[in-house]
Amino acid sequence: MNTTGKRTGRPVSGQHVIIGKLTAIGKRYITLGAGTQVLLPDRHLLKGIEVGMSLTLVVTRQNDGGMVAERIVRFDDGKLFTRAPENQE
């Protein structure tokens, strides 16, 4: 994915929201449908999360195109659960 600004030609990044079904959990990454990988800065984010769940993630897109999870949100029995890395809560 090209993350270069149209006017400046410099790399851009920022926070984005992505939604997807969790298909795999690795040591440092989670994978959503269509193979979207998101880096986990803290495994604490996965507490209560299982493969097959639909998730909403706030991510920061890095200049190299990678994504880092800043917050994971899920709904369970009509209740909202949100997780952020422990140093941010």
- The pLDDT value recorded for residue 3 is 45
What are the pLDDT tens digits along the chain (89 aa)?
A: 444 444 445 555 578 999 999 999 998 999 999 899 999 988 888 888 899 999 999 999 888 888 999 999 887 777 778 878 775 54
Q: Residue 72 class from Cβ within 10 Å (0-12 exposed, 13-18 middle, 19+ buried)?
A: buried
pTM attached to this predicted model: 0.73
Task: Please give the domain boundaries of the chain with CATH numbers for all domains.
Answer: 14-68 (2.40.50)
Q: Where are the beta strands (DSSP E) in 1-89?
A: 14-25, 29-32, 37-39, 54-61, 67-76, 79-83
Let me know the angle formed at the C-alpha of 38 by 14 and 19, rounded to the nearest 5 degrees.
Answer: 80
What is the Cα–Cα distance from 30 to 46, expressed in whole angstroms?
A: 9
Whether 16 and 61 have beta carbons less than 8 Å apart is answered as: yes
